[in-house]
Homo-oligomer: A and B are copies of this chain.
Amino acid sequence: MSPRGYWYAAGHYSASEHGGTHIDAPIHFSRGGLTVDQIPLAKLIAPTVVIDISEACNKNRDYRLSVDDLTTWEKQHGQIPGGSLVLARTGWGKYWPDKGHYLGSDVPGDINVLHFPGFSLEAARFLVTRRKIIGVGIDTASMDYGPSRLFEVHGIILGAGLYGLENIAHLDSLPPTAATIVALPMKIKGGSGAPTRIIAVLP
């Protein structure tokens, strides 16, 4: 109770810009790139393409989404449309909140040894150069796979001015096409990323 006699609760929060479900702004890996508050709203509301690689990931936790996965998807659903947000569905969301399994740290707490799926460099380059997408997303902690040390996929995607969504929940409930994603990050002035609420609108 407050001194004046009414109930009152208020807190402060504090965290990394890159924890939980969040967005990577271009500047995160790209000097001079857009900061999170500069990403235009029009790019945060986007038609969505979901590439399901969960079977391959089940067999190999270090699997990386390949150009083959993209072309196989395109044979079924047509070319990835310009302006799309491309999401990799690894199935990893089901491991949360078991961080050991989700991050694949063989030694608990050791973030230098991680194993979880991501995008391959070749797929990232293909999406950036051959398709006019606006961003990528994944239901793991990073668009680069767990063992990555140089985070080249971040460099390719963010370096091209696109954004990335990481730790997306419930990605397994989305269809391969037709969903529109609304991803609204906290507007941190000059931020390299931010916690982001993501909803899907289905037709």
A residues whose Cβ falls under 8 Å from a Cβ of B: 4-18, 20-21, 27-31, 41, 45, 149-151, 155, 182, 184-188, 191-195, 197, 199
Output the least CB separation between A195 and chain B (Å): 5
C-alpha spacing A10/B154, complex, angstroms: 13
Interface contact B10-A28, CB-CB below 8 Å: yes
Interface contact A14-B14, CB-CB below 8 Å: yes
Residues from chain B with Cβ under 8 Å of A151 in the complex: 6, 8
C-alpha spacing A141/B77, complex, angstroms: 48
Residues from chain B with Cβ under 8 Å of A191 in the complex: 11, 13
Q: A187-B197, A199-B184 are in contact. Are A192 and B9 (CB under 8 A)?
A: yes
* Pairs A-B, 4 closest by C-beta atoms: A184-B197, A14-B14, A184-B184, A9-B192
Q: A184-B184, A187-B197 are in contact. Are A192 and B28 (CB under 8 A)?
A: no
Q: A12-B14, A12-B17, A192-B10 are in contact. Are A4 and B186 (CB under 8 A)?
A: no
Output the least CB separation between A186 and chain B (Å): 5
User: 5 other contacts beyond A10-B193, A45-B199, A186-B186, with CB at 8 A cut-off?
Assistant: A11-B192, A13-B15, A13-B188, A20-B187, A182-B199
C-alpha spacing A17/B185, complex, angstroms: 15
Output the least CB separation between A1 and chain B (Å): 9
Residues from chain B with Cβ under 8 Å of A13 in the complex: 14-15, 17, 186, 188, 191, 194
C-alpha spacing A41/B197, complex, angstroms: 10
Would you list 14 pairs from A and B whose C-beta atoms are within 8 A, ordered by A residue?
Answer: A4-B149, A5-B150, A9-B29, A10-B16, A10-B17, A10-B192, A11-B188, A12-B15, A12-B17, A13-B14, A13-B17, A14-B15, A21-B187, A187-B195
Residues from chain B with Cβ under 8 Å of A41 in the complex: 199
Residues from chain B with Cβ under 8 Å of A182 in the complex: 182, 184, 199
